[in-house]
Structure 1
Amino acid sequence: MQGEINGISPTIVKTLLAKQGITAKTVSKKAKPLFGSSGKAIKPADIAVFSRQMATMMKAGVPLVQAFEIVADGLENPNLRKMVLQIKDSVAAGGGFANALREHPKYFDDLFCNLVDSGEQSGALETMLDRIATYKEKTEALKAKIKKALTYPIAVVIVAIVVTGILLVKVVPQFAETFSGFGADLPAFTLFVLHLSELAQAYWLYILVIMIGSVFAVKELARRSPQFAYMIDKYILKLPIIGQIIYLSILARFARTLATTFAAGVPLIDALTSVAGAAGNKIYADAIIRVREDVSTGIQLNTALKARGIFPTLLIQMAAIGEESGALDAMLDKVAVYYEEAVDNMVDTLTSLLEPIIMSVLGVLVGGLLIAMYLPIFQLGAVVG
């Protein structure tokens, strides 16, 4: 008899089959498709939905293994459904929820696994899953706002490049043929645009490859070189409006992550380690590591934050109040809400500013090229007149 069953390892598969009264002679891993896995990719938003559904099931008093089955049945993403069933099988075999999640590090980071582990150890898994779900939902909402903020500037650049390229390669050459029969000197601006058009026609493919290659090169260099990543992150924070949005999102993420982990009973030093990993910016990740080192020597959190010189007064003061009152997680949660709302407002501001900027940029580019092409015609008309 042959068959298929979901399992993380051959040992777990044999254990599951043994519980069903089946003794497996051989267990082998199913070969993957030649051209990658089928179905949809598992996105962070999917993990947020999974977290909320599991929290809801646990609140309703559904046993853990049964909760996995119910959640899996309602999932549309086949790859996510398969992973949830694998986690269920591991838990059913006695592996523990947190350990089952650690078998999928691509989708469940140390922070997620540690919080679940804390919930299992304290017997408050239901409460912990609810906190995790809220944290994941807030995090994904913040990411969506950042993507929205970055989409507009990127769109402006892409549209400007495409429009300029089409004009230089397709439109300007037609004027160049007309000007060749004028027998008169052309204006300097027109000559500049004509030379630019010749370059674009001759090297457009090389220019395109260099532009795309530069983007990938910067990404790869930032991944390989911490110094380069630090420099890029520092430059991004200095960008007008966008830099401020990134800055506010870092603070919101810092406060939200620290509030969630600390409320879960994770020691502050360990919580700061998780926060550093979720910072999303090399400058602040390094600063948080130094804060953790200071706190480990007995220095208060607010003092350690102030010593770094890059955290705002509001965050430092709220941390001080939280430490004095014994409600650090509650104070940090309020800070997170404040900065999340600030990100919302900044994104709305950016959107309203960029709409006229897009029209202005395109107007200057198209208008400038058209003026350059019609200048000789205007001059010729003046001479004839």
Structure 2
Amino acid sequence: MKKFSYTWVDFSGRRGKGNIEASNREAAYKKLRQYNITILKLYENNTISNWLAMSKKCQQNVHRRSRFYRQGELLLKAGMPISDVMALLTDEAAGIKDRLAGGETLSGAMRSQKELFGKQEIAMIEAGEYGGSLEWVFSRLADDFASMERFQKSFQQSMLYPLILLIISLVALLFIIFYILPVIFTIFRDLAIDLPLPARILMYISDISTDKAVGLIMVLIVIGFAGYYSWQSEAVGAYIDNFILRLPILGKLWLLMDLSQFLGTLSMLLAGGIVIDRAVANAATGCSNRYLKGIFTELANRLAKGNSFYSSIEDNFFPLAIKKLVAAGEASGELAAMLDYGSQYCREEGESRLKTIEIMAEPMLIIVLGVTTGFIVLSIVLPMLDIMIGFF
């Protein structure tokens, strides 16, 4: 059975999204038609086009949710009831306003729209309703998503120029290896001279025929797809995520990004009155790294048994500064505030590392390209020198 995602609208104008399993696209469409809804979009999961669409949607979703909570905060400050606020925010709350009109709570209505709202958001809204601080919750969520959006944009901008430079350089090198070098090495073969080791290595690479190159590309594509589908498995994916976390540059950056979101969300949940073990469990759902998510879930289990927060964070992935903040927060009774400081610390450290990567990426790429170009030039110049010495 294949998995499909779909977007629908009914005769009253309500919109929604969902998932369904079917043998093919036609069977999925036939099943959905039984619910008397109009299907706006239906696509199979785990395809390349779907992955690209979801990647773009994920980037847009952070901005949309930040705007949603900011507008909700302003409307609540103006004294509007929450039902009227949701009625005005129709783009994000198409299915919520009707449930509110039926007497359901905002958190309960949001829980029915799981495709739009995460568990930690719903937990915060529920805490805000319980404590009468819904306006404050909207403000914190808006700030959190705005900060996340700035972080994502900073990362994308820092990687854009090195990526373009790398692609152009690779195209140029492949053109030299497969089209220019074979002509030069044909001349060397006709002269029947002994080639030095760099020239022999480069000749072997350039002698790869077009059929072999196509076959190699196909093998790499198969390996890539196999790796991707293996990564989708929870056990294999957690193992790969753990490996990536231990890498010196990218791993540390990913750790700081997830820690910043986890600590910030946890701070909001604790300030909203959620008990600590439940707050940790809800905050863990926002982690993109599955290995870290497992660590945070185990942390929630330890806290549920009555352990202190500081004694429960035994894993070495927690920076020493975060552990000290947790200890100070538990001693002073200001754990939520200290976790908020920890979130800011991780975010600033991540942004600092992004700037370092941006500064170092270009010279490192130039060095690699220079070494590669030098190797190619040396492979050509050394045989030419041998020819000149033998001629004279």
Q: Distance in 2 between matches of 1:159 and 1:218?
A: 26
- Please report the TM-score for the alignment, with normalisation by the length of structure 2: 0.80
Does residue 286 of structure 2 align to residue 268 of structure 1?
Answer: no
Matches within 5 A, 1:1-385: 4-7=11-14, 28-33=36-41, 41=57, 43-72=61-90, 81=91, 83-147=92-156, 158=167, 161-199=170-208, 201-226=210-235, 228-305=236-313, 307-385=314-392
Which residue type is aligned with residue 51 of structure 1?
A: Y
C-alpha change, 1:355 and 1:31, in structure 2 (3 Å) is closer
Q: Distance in 2 between matches of 1:384 and 1:370?
A: 21
Q: Distance in 1 between matches of 2:319 and 2:175?
A: 47
Which residue type is aligned with residue 114 of structure 2?
A: P
Aligned-residue RMSD, C-alpha? 3.0
> In 2, are the aligned partners of 1:51 and 1:129 still within 8 Å (CA)?
yes
Deviations 1:44-92 (A, max 9, x none): 33222222222222222233344345444xxxxxxxx3x4333333333
Q: Which runs of 5+ in 2 are unaligned?
A: 1-9, 17-33, 45-49
Which residue type is aligned with residue 68 of structure 2?
A: F
The alignment partner of 2:39 has SS state of: coil
Q: Distance in 1 between matches of 2:41 and 2:338?
A: 50
- How many Å apart are 1:117 and its aligned residue? 2.2
- How many Å apart are 1:342 and its aligned residue? 1.0
Q: Distance in 1 between matches of 2:210 and 2:131?
A: 68
Q: Distance in 2 between matches of 1:350 and 1:159?
A: 20
- How many Å apart are 1:263 and its aligned residue? 1.0
C-alpha change, 1:27 and 1:362, in structure 2 (3 Å) is closer
Residue number in structure 2 paired with 1:16: none
Q: Which runs of 5+ in 1 are unaligned?
A: 10-25, 73-80
Which residue type is aligned with residue 276 of structure 2?
A: L
Q: Distance in 2 between matches of 1:360 and 1:8?
A: 53
C-alpha change, 1:282 and 1:148, in structure 2 (3 Å) is farther
> In 1, are the aligned partners of 2:199 and 2:379 still within 8 Å (CA)?
yes
Q: Distance in 1 between matches of 2:230 and 2:159?
A: 21
- How many Å apart are 1:268 and its aligned residue? 0.3
